[in-house]
A and B are shown apart, each in its own frame.
Chain A
Amino acid sequence: MRRKNLTQFFGFGFLYLAMLLALMSLGLILYFVSVNGLKVLSWEFLTQVPRRAMTQGGIAPALVGTIYLTVGAILFALPIGIACAIYLCEYSPKSVIINVIRMSINNLAGVPSVVFGLFGLSVFVKFFGFGVSILSGSLTLGIMILPGIISAAQEALLAVPQSLREASLALGATQWQTIRKIVLPTASPGILTGVILSVGRAAGETAPIMFTAATFYTRGYPKSIFDEVMALPYHIYALMTEGTFPEQQTLIAYGCAFLLMLIVLIISGFAIFLRQRQRRYEFV
């Protein structure tokens, strides 16, 4: 009896420690990024272009660039991802080929981001001739987050009870009406969860935009989707690896990191808001 209790004590203790460790690393990241980042954060930092070899002024163009790239990636990947998932779950006949497609999509999710970067460079920048631009970067990031969105959307669609589809069809709805008005709205909270996870990834990745969209310095803001942009993750990378004033640059990099977290939080917050709104009819 006592031994059993001891085992349980250690068992729970281990679970508790694991949780604590995860929480602590999150807390430490937030703490260090905030403490260092807040030192440089000011209205000027948010709204000005960089000056004097990045050591003064703000990082506004990078902020804007990251928002463009992230939103662009979502705009591209979300409709295509949902369409793919609908095809795979609702329309396609169950067959070996479909299983192979599913497996490939899951594998695609594990491809390192730098590979997507090279892919974007050869396809969007060179082959389609979009150049190093917001468009190329958004498309590359979009392709990178596509597998995640497809998987999330598939899970969400599969979780919609078959009985709801039957109820809709039995009322004389077509399959398309059933999908559009019943299945998709019911699945949308799950799909939005996928979007939330993807936002963080799209906003934070450096490698995919390094060759396709990002540049270390621009004088102003991009005027069209064919312009190259500054982006926060690449800016952080550049500040930490290049330049002649490492001390000031490190501080600015922390400021950028803090903003990056903030952007992810804001875009995710918007998706969470949408998700809650969609859930208002779910059982409470």
Chain B
Amino acid sequence: MPVHSEISLGQIQQLYNRVNDLLRKNMLALKASASAAAQATNGQVRQRHLDELAALKRSRVVILHQHAAVSELEFAYEMSNRGESQAELDLKAGVQSANALVKSINNIADTLNKVSEFAGIIARLISLFK
């Protein structure tokens, strides 16, 4: 049986999604500020964009460290959830359902084969006693 723990794989995935979303937004902001700084003709305006860039770079490092923190959670989850998971049980159910169909098809072939064996035996018996 799956071991219950405080956090689920679904929640861990949500955390990854959220951090990745922050990374995307951060990159968009970096690109916007970089292009604004490149186009700035006024020294003061350019400096403002450079300051923005410095702040965005620092927050990117923080977001990356959050990503690493989520991965720590994921690895800890693996350590405390090594029993048979629902996903494994579901795959096993799929295996059973696949094999059941193959088996029932084979049963049809077996039945037909028995018909011909039976008919063959009767035919031999008849020819012996004719």
Do they bind each other? no
Residues of A within 8 A of B (CB): none
Residues of B within 8 A of A (CB): none
